[in-house]
Amino acid sequence: MDHSHSHHHGPAAPVSKHLRKIIGAVLIPFATAVVAGLIVLWPGGAPEQDEQTGVGFDRQMEKARVTKVEEVNCKDVHAQQQNNDAATDGQCQQATVEVTTGPHQGRTFTAVITPDDTRRLSTGQNVVVAYAPQAPEELQYSVVDVDRNFPIILLAVFFALVVVAVGRLRGVLALVGLAITFAVLTLFILPAILQGSNPLVVAVVGGSTIMLVTLYLCHGLTARTSVAVLGTLISLVLIGLLGSLFIAWAKLTGNTNDQTALVHSLYPDIEIRGVLLASVLIGSLGVLDDVTVTQTSAVWELKQADPTATWRTLYTSAMRIGRDHIASVVNTLVLAYAGAALPLLLLFSVAQASVSTVATSELVAEEIVRTLVGSIGLVASVPVTTGLAALVVSTGLSGTEPSGPSGRGRRRRAKR
């Protein structure tokens, strides 16, 4: 038995040393480049605007409370009488709203909710109001949304408790990783894009920072995590190249909705096509991490279950797990995008245009390219990560003791 171990350990050692050098030669310069990228591109906050535009979220918002709600005939409402195009039949809500924050705290105004408005108000409800200083006094405040702070915070706390209860220490580390992800997005990625930096470069640096920090934080500074990082990196490069190629080839501008049009009008220097490519990369990163970590863990567990397993055996077994993962993950990605674009899909389903016309329109083609490019990267990550992980454990780099040929022979004879 001892003889077999020493017989095999000779050739394995140089291979594992060589592999360690390869992984170090890729990951150390990569991590250094990411840190350098963060330093060079660090924006120092979003660019200052001289004044608020009064469009979308770029308005002065205040909190308010509904003090009284009355049902009135829409024909009797002065606001409706001024708008002849609006339907005047039915019952309108006339709400008295009191401003609770800002310079005009305590001021009340009247808001009218028409029957075709999906939002209804109730007495005692907290709302968000927009303040327009240039408007006449009676029109300065308007209800724009409801105040939903409490249910959102409650849901977030419940989510954190469930994650910690099930995941324990790993769950706590996962929540820290989530906080870091949010911080990188809000402090680096978004302000850097607004400052005019190349969106693709920003997404690569920011996404890589998120990947390195969260993976090593949640899974430890081990060979297993390094393999997952390497597999994710290779897949991200593939997604970036394919995304660049097909976004340019399909002549997608990325300027397809009101939000992108508004961003482009406020910040004309931003490369909107680059933002589209950045969104493809960042959107794929979360699912990529899941696939690469799972595949790496599968190989390690298979090696522990059968220490005599060869590279080929480990790869074949782990790929069977990977194929199941591919089938579910690709479907997950498609359904995630379909869910996000459901109102758009409903509009197209009632349109009289042909399926091909709809599918190749920029609005839908953008989602198709995003989904398919991300899915190709995901599918490719499975064999790449599995192959790397199997190579690492079968050469003893992971700390798993490789078994000699005689041990494998005995194993085969026992199976027979």
CA 241 to chain centroid: 19
pLDDT at residue 359 tops 50:
yes
Instruction: State the Cα–Cα distance between residues 231 and 383, nearest whole angstrom.
Output: 9
pLDDT at residue 51 tops 70:
no
Quote the pTM value: 0.73
pLDDT-derived band at 341, boundaries 50, 70, 90: confident
Rounded mean pLDDT of 183-209?
88
Residues of the chain above pLDDT 70, percent: 82
pLDDT, residue 408, reads 42
The pLDDT tens digits of the residues spanning 366-395 come to: 888 888 898 899 899 999 999 999 988 887
pLDDT at residue 416 tops 60:
no
- Among the residue ranges 108-112, 117-121, 409-413, the one predicted with the least confidence is 409-413
pLDDT, residue 162, reads 96
Q: Where are the alpha helices (DSSP H) in 269-354?
A: 272-305, 311-340, 342-350
If you write DSSP's letter for every residue of 53-115 in order, what string do you get?
A: --BTTBSEEEEEEEEEEEEEEGGG-HHHHH-TTS---SEEEEEEEEE-SSTTTT-EEEEEE-T
Cα four-point dihedral sign 191, 196, 200, 204: negative
Instruction: State the Cα–Cα distance between residues 197 and 193, nearest whole angstrom.
Output: 5
Rounded mean pLDDT of 161-166?
95
How high does pLDDT run on average in the chain? 80
pLDDT at residue 2 tops 50:
no
pLDDT at residue 259 tops 80:
no
pLDDT, residue 8, reads 41
pLDDT at residue 400 tops 60:
no
Q: Return all residues near 200 (Cβ < 8 A) that are at least 6 apart.
A: 240, 244, 274, 277, 278, 281
Residue 131 has φ and ψ, to the nearest 5°, of: -110, 125
Pick the more confident residue, 262 or 123.
123
pLDDT, residue 172, reads 93
Q: DSSP class of residue 256?
A: -
pLDDT, residue 239, reads 92
